[in-house]
A = this chain, B = another copy of it.
Amino acid sequence: MNQPKTDPRIQRTRKLIMDSFMELSNIKEFKEITITDIAAEAMINRATFYYHFEDIYDLLEKVLSEVLLVNLNCSNYPHNELTEEAITSIFVAITNFQKSLSNRCHRGYEDTIARIIREQLEIIFYQLLSPQQHSEKDEGLRIMAIILSSGMYGASVDWMRNSHKITPEEFIELAIPHLLPAHHIGSPDN
């Protein structure tokens, strides 16, 4: 929740690097972006890059995670509950994220991107599934989170490929009756 405050120098430099990477992504293919490029664009020393990231794949991973998280956090789910609303807004966030990616030529890294999306979704679904402040791990909920994250991601891929005629909201709402048992919908007794 509240980390012990990260050094502002680290915040600044990480932002500089990430922004420069996204900027370069608009110009070049991912494969053509070098760490030397990024350091030059960010006006930082190349060695400093390695202080923050393992390598360029680590950077890609963290940039994507962050962009995705920004999308997801826009909708602040109430009371950590997995409602129809929460599912819909998560699905919209995923499709938005994927649409924004398709503009930024990351061709050839679909599987990396897919893995990152699923990992982030898994974390979020696990939180939504867990009872309040329940910090002990529950293997059943973890597996359920995996199923939901993979399922949502697969659905988003399908929507991207085939179903541009209907909105993501309409698309996912077609599935919700089958996904959530009827008596769970609408936060039953609380």
Encode contact with B along A1-43: 1 for CB under 8 Å, 0 otherwise.
Answer: 0000000100110000000000000000000000000000001
Assembly CA distance A64 to B11 (angstroms): 29
Task: Work out how many copies of this chain go into the complex.
Answer: 2
Residues of chain A at interface, number, CB under 8 A = 6
Kindly report which residue of chain B lies nearest to residue A43, judged by CB atoms: B8
User: A132 → chain B, closest Cβ, in Å?
Assistant: 34
Kindly report which residue of chain B lies nearest to residue A45, judged by CB atoms: B8
Kindly report which residue of chain B lies nearest to residue A42, judged by CB atoms: B8
Q: List 6 A-B contacts (CB under 8 A).
A: A8-B43, A8-B44, A8-B45, A11-B43, A12-B12, A12-B43
User: A22 → chain B, closest Cβ, in Å?
Assistant: 19
Residues of B close to A44: CB separation below 8 A: 8
User: A20 → chain B, closest Cβ, in Å?
Assistant: 13
Assembly CA distance A11 to B44 (angstroms): 11
Assembly CA distance A1 to B163 (angstroms): 61
Residues of B close to A45: CB separation below 8 A: 8
User: A94 → chain B, closest Cβ, in Å?
Assistant: 32
